[in-house]
Structure 1
Amino acid sequence: MSWQRRIDSALEQRRATDSFRVRLANQQGSARYLVQDGTRYLNFSSNDYLGVSQHAEVITAWQQGAEIYGVGSGGSGHVTGYNEAHQQFEQQLAAWLGFPRALLFISGFAANQAVIAALAEKTDSIIADKLSHASLLEAAMHSPAQLRRFAHNDVASLQTLLAQQTDGEQLVITEGVFSMDGDAAPLAEIAQATRYVGGLLMVDDAHGIGVIGSEGRGSCYQQQVQPDILVVTFGKAFGVSGAAVLCSEPMANYLLQFARHLIYSTAMPPAQAYALSAALDVVRRNESRRVQLQANIARFRKGAEQLPLKLMASQTAIQPLIVGENQIAVNLAATLREQGFWLTAIRPPTVPAGTARLRVTLTASHTSDDIDSLLEALYDATR
């Protein structure tokens, strides 16, 4: 089979199963409203949970950072790219979350890939929640270690796998809040099971940081767990982009020596780190935004319980409505778009077959009227 035939066959298969992805350029996509092709929609697909991407202090900080440092880092952090703005934000973040060290990465995907690739050896076992993010599972599958998956949020399933014989070390991986189901991991029980066998615990809290716990310190802080490795990202509640790995001093030094994504990638622009420092200040002091988000979640769930769709058991900003068939989910999203609501139909392979869904994401920027209007449109569309 030629390369072209292979590509054509793969694309045709995606189209045939109603899972072909298309990107649409928008003029504004992270705030309460999304503007696409000149039309304004109420946006229920943004991960900007606290509205920080539009916060004046953060925008001003990025502008100031660009004036001070320019718009790029100029190289890898191991050459010339590591700047005082990076160092100061790493120290600020580590102190806030109670870890000895923080290391900045260009994205959460890169951070997860880098950590697993640097740590995993052939005799090791990686034991991951079966619904862990693609960046985690892909890195584990590509590593020389054996990947085993425990049933979603099932501590007994995890313990069974941890009890199996292994010649090397065991790395347990989970998320704080799961990006497609919106539910939270039982981190305290997972940590206890991991510690019992001397394993290493890695938690990706991309969707928990900023919105859960005191000052938004996230899922681990809320459950009084300090994992060996905590990954937080800045493209959700922080309203910017990038990620950080929180860990011990020896682990940080190890990653600085062996994490290839860190060593061989151009570092985050210093202006971005400068803006992230301002974003952290905004996140910490905006408890009212977290309270508003929780109120919006409760309002949506109360209304959505009356819909003829399965509402997942999520108490977070991610509120999936299970539709089932791919084409029905696509059609439903299109119908809602005609009514002025922007929702995304999530289909396999992102989620398991037969669980295509509308992934509703709520933010503190939404008003009660926004939520009520969406619920009315959903009632009409699913009638």
Structure 2
Amino acid sequence: MSEQNTMLLLLPVPFRIIDSVLHIEYQAHHGLRRWLDSFDRLIVGASIMPEMIAEQRTEMRWRAVDDLDSHIDFLTLPWAYRIDTFIKELPATAALIARKIEQARYLQFAIGGIVGDWATVGAIIALRTGRKYAIHTDRIEHEILLHVSAEKSFPYRLKAALDSRILMILQKILIKNCDLGLFHGMDTYELYQQWMQESGKQNNAYCIHNIHDEDLDEENDRSNLIDTSAPRHTPITLFYAGRMDATKAPLQWLEVVRVLAEKHPGIRAIWAGEGDLRPDFDRKLRDLELEDVVDAPGFIPDRKKVAQLYRDTDIFMFTHITPESPRCLLEALKFGIPIIGYESAFAKDLIKKNGGGLVVENGNIRALANQVSEIIKKPSLLMRLKKNAQEDGKAFSSKAVFEERSALIKKHL
């Protein structure tokens, strides 16, 4: 394979084998097609998810990759998230990655952790061999480790603190020495740009955005932009789409809904998504007696149905408590849905130009409930926020964001 205009991309998103055919997560498949708009060939590496685990990940939607075989060399890597398995697989897998690095003109590593993270291994090899490389990340992983362990047992918190420290040291080495930093969202950019500044490469750090808008045709229907100054005959609808895990604070989200339901009888709230906290979510839903208010349909694989939920929504309410960059906020803005939730650099950056949303102090349930209540009481404010959200959302499309990233890779690498 000629290395000319070939990019090696090591991903955190896994592969899965179904009926002897290689599959990848649906949105990742869309991303690979977008990369092929700018590169002749790709070498794409990811771990093979064991079937026992894949069957439990009901929120993941898979798509076969055989339609991409003519342009992509798929590099299937071992699932090695246990330390003993990782140590066993490391020598052979590192050698394989090193050979693929030699075959590629451009190198991009979507790093996340240490054990089992082959993108991190690839970045280490590139650094040691003097190859230019790009780092892509959308989370401050070492801080998230501390957040999600905050209410665990002392031994668990101690281990998380140690893991967090080791991860921060390693990622700082890889990020400050990379030749291009593609940091999704302002939270990641603000920290990692400082790290790159230590090596004089701060001008090679970029705040990017990531969106997969396939099957989300927001232009078909703008019915959410009705004149809300007129008398309203349908209930206000709050919506969230994402995983039920600690980083999204779904139990805090329910507390906000409880306060709003008391103030505004008749409101509707929908959380579309699955996750580890689903049992806790269902239990709290019953404890708060919100069964008639909240609909939790789980993961919805049909993106057209998700698009319709966005169109039927008034407010996208979120309770993200960790420094990451969830794509759902961009999706909401594309549909002209104001984003109302906890403050973060990422959320503030998305709405800084037109004001298509409002944020409150992170973790302040009462403040968020009061803010949403104020919007519900003022139809003209809701209408203005919707129009502003539509303007903020115009900047985001998968075609535009992948073209931007591709141009940066070719410029700096």
The TM-score bracket by the shorter chain reads: under 0.3
| Structure number with higher relative contact order (C-alpha < 8 Å, ≥ 6 residues apart) | 1
How high is the TM-score relative to the length of structure 1?
0.27
How high is the TM-score relative to the length of structure 2?
0.26
